[in-house]
Amino acid sequence: MIIVMRPKSSQSDVDTVTKKLVEAGLQYHLSQGESRTIIGVIGDKKLIAKLPVDVFPGVEKSVSVTESYKLVSREFRQEDTIVNVGGALIGGQHLGIMAGPCAVESMEQLLEAATVVREAGAQFLRGGAYKPRTSPYAFQGLEEKGLEMLAEARNKTGLKIVTEVVDATSVEIVSKYADVLQVGARNMQNFNLLKTVGRTDKAVLLKRGLSATISEWLNAAEYIMSEGNYNVILCERGIRTFETYTRNTLDLSAVAIVKSLSHLPVIVDPSHGTGIWKMVSPMSRAAIAAGADGLMIEVHPNPAEALCDGSQSLTPQNFSKLMGEIGAISQIMDKKLR
Ligand code: PEP
Ligand code: MN
pLDDT tens per residue across span 32-56: 766 788 899 988 889 998 999 999 9
Q: For residue 52, what pLDDT is reported?
A: 93
314 CA distance to ligand 1 middle (Å): 16
Q: Provide the residue ranges of all domains of the chain, joining segments of one domain with +.
A: 2-63, 83-332
Distance 83 CA to ligand 2 centre (A): 24
Asked whether 206 lines ligand 1 (CB < 6 A), one says no
Tell the CATH topology of 83-332: TIM Barrel (3.20.20)
- 226-258: per-residue pLDDT in tens? 888 999 999 999 999 999 999 999 999 999 999
Please indicate whether residue 272, judged by its CB atom, sits closer than 6 Å to ligand 1. Answer: yes
Give the Å distances, CA to CA, from 80 to 74, 191, 261, 287, 338.
8, 25, 11, 18, 18
Given this chain, do its domains 2-63 and 83-332 carry the same CATH topology? no
**pLDDT for 180:** 98
Please indicate whether residue 208, judged by its CB atom, sits closer than 6 Å to ligand 1: no
User: Is ligand 1 within 6 A of the CB of residue 207?
Assistant: yes
- Torsion 159-208-242-135 (CA) sign: positive
Share of the chain above pLDDT 70, in %: 99
Average pLDDT over residues 190-206: 97
What's the pLDDT tens digit per position in 76-129?
888 999 999 999 999 999 999 999 999 999 999 999 999 999 999 999 999 999
Q: Which of 207, 210, 247, 308 to mutate to test the pocket of ligand 1 (most atoms within 8 A of CB)?
A: 207
Ligand 1 atom closest to Cα of residue 207: 9
- Of 8 and 86, which is predicted with more confidence? 86
Query: Does the structure show a pLDDT above 90 at 63?
Result: no
Residue nearest to atom 3 of ligand 1 (CA): 102
CATH architecture of 2-63: 2-Layer Sandwich (3.30)
Report whether residue 259 contacts ligand 1, using a CB cutoff of 6 Å. Answer: no
pLDDT of residue 36: 80
| Ligand nearest to the backbone CA of 298 | 2
Q: Of ligand 1's atoms, which has the minimum distance to the CA of residue 182?
A: 2
pTM for the whole thing?
A: 0.91
Question: Within a 10 A sphere around the Cβ of 324, how many other Cβ atoms?
Answer: 10
Q: Identify which of 233, 234, 235, 269 to mutate to test ligand 1's pocket (most ligand atoms within 8 A of the CB).
A: 269
Report which ligand 1 atom has the smallest distance to the Cα of 184: 8
Closest C-alpha to ligand 1, atom 9: 185
Among 33-42, 196-205, 310-319, the range scoring the smallest mean pLDDT is 33-42
pLDDT of residue 86: 97
Q: What is the pLDDT of residue 123?
A: 98
For residue 25, the model assigns a pLDDT of 94
Chain segment 151-186, per-residue pLDDT in tens? 999 999 999 999 999 999 999 999 999 999 999 999
Determine the residue of 272, 297, 300, 313 to mutate for testing ligand 1's pocket, defined as the one with the most ligand atoms within 8 A of the Cβ atom: 272
How remote is the CA of residue 272 from the centroid of ligand 2, in Å?
A: 6
